[in-house]
Amino acid sequence: MLNEREIESCYLGQFIPVHYHHNMLMDNNRMHSFKSAIAHAVKPGMKVLELGGGTGVLSWFAAANAAKVYCVEFNPDMVQEARKFMAINENGDRVEVIHADAFEYLPPEPVDIVICEMIHVAMLREKQVEVIESFKRRYRQKFGDKLPVFMPEAVLMAAQPLQQEYDFEGFYAPIVQFQETAVVHNNSAELAQPAVYAVIDFTQPNGMSYAWQGKFVVERDGTVNAMRFITKNILSVVEERATTIDWLNHYMVLPLARPVRARAGDVLEVSFAYRAGGSIPSLEATLEAAVVFEAGQDAVAAPSDAVPAYA
């Protein structure tokens, strides 16, 4: 019989099936970023905890230097896989794979670094923020005030208005999309620069709600019919080189229920609200955009005017 959290976990896809872990291992951007951040942050002899270990790959990166790695995973299938992989990889014996809920587990001794990659764009679906906040509370009670270093250390979240094409061989379907970063998307016209709407610093207490209302200066004429969500994870701060090792999630593009026409120079106001760990539709349902300042007199439709489709 599943308890309430397990039912919700399954529903929200917390239990990513084994075959999806192959996609994560194949995501070079993610893998390289974590590998270099872990190589930088984990110094010889350190104790490391990973929450949500999956295949155990990040724990194994840490084992190159760490004296001991506690790798916590809740999905019994993945626990089995991770144990199997540790047995066939050098230094795998430094990783203890533990079948436990990250909301409840605490290591038997203080650790230097906590790695957690329960990260979805915009901090939706997966429980990163809630898991880390719960961990900090319980860890302090057991070990005192000094917290380990978290990886990622911080997360920046931004939004950007788009004119997005939703034509699929003549079939019009405004639907959530994920986009590669660092490539040109011919189907997306960026109508304004991105704006940061939230910064999560895991060393500080973090709330679970993101309610935002912000303004953009429109840079080119178009129909704002979608918002792109950008999530940049600051995996590790490299103080000696005054830089950071980052991982940029795939972009997520959500359609607007009520698109608006805008012209270069207009000011567009956008609002949305959602909870960390919430569903994609819960954010999509709150997305609103309106032109609140018109640059030209004969320019745009009234803010409330809805235009149906990509032009």
Within 13 A of 203's CA, how many CA atoms are on the CB side?
9
Name the segment binding ligand SAM (CB under 6 A); options: 71-79, 213-221, 268-276, 285-293.
Answer: 71-79
Note whether 78 binds ligand SAM by CB under 6 A: yes
Token pair belonging to 282: 């819960």
Which contacts (CB < 8 Å, 24+ apart) does range 294-298 have? 294/263, 294/266, 295/218, 295/263, 295/264, 295/265, 295/266, 296/263, 296/265
d(CA 233, CA 121) in angstroms, rounded, equals 10
Among 38, 54, 68, 165, binds ligand SAM (CB under 6 A): 54
Among 42, 46, 58, 62, binds ligand SAM (CB under 6 A): 58
Note whether 233 binds ligand SAM by CB under 6 A: no
DSSP string for 7-70: HHHHHHT-S--HHHHHHHHH-HHHHHHHHHHHHHH--TT-EEEEES-TTSHHHHHHHTT-SEEE
Name the segment binding ligand SAM (CB under 6 A); options: 46-54, 136-144, 147-155, 293-301.
Answer: 46-54
Token pair belonging to 46: 């350190």
Q: What mask, x for binding ligand SAM by CB under 6 A, covers residues 122 to 141?
A: -----x--------------
Note whether 294 binds ligand SAM by CB under 6 A: no
Helix, coil or strand: residue 30: helix
Note whether 255 binds ligand SAM by CB under 6 A: no
Note whether 14 binds ligand SAM by CB under 6 A: yes
Helix, coil or strand: residue 38: helix
Token pair belonging to 284: 């999509």
Note whether 284 binds ligand SAM by CB under 6 A: no
Note whether 107 binds ligand SAM by CB under 6 A: no
Note whether 55 binds ligand SAM by CB under 6 A: yes
Name the segment binding ligand SAM (CB under 6 A); options: 68-76, 171-179, 228-236, 272-280.
Answer: 68-76
With CB under 6 A as the rule, give the number of residues binding ligand SAM.
21
Q: Which residues pair with 188 in a beta bridge?
A: 164
d(CA 200, CA 158) in angstroms, rounded, equals 12
Among 75, 160, 188, 249, binds ligand SAM (CB under 6 A): 75
Q: What mask, x for binding ligand SAM by CB under 6 A, covers residues 86 to 105?
A: ---------------xxx--
> Which residues are at the interface with ligand SAM (CB under 6 A)?
14-16, 24, 52-55, 57-58, 72-75, 78, 101-103, 117-118, 127
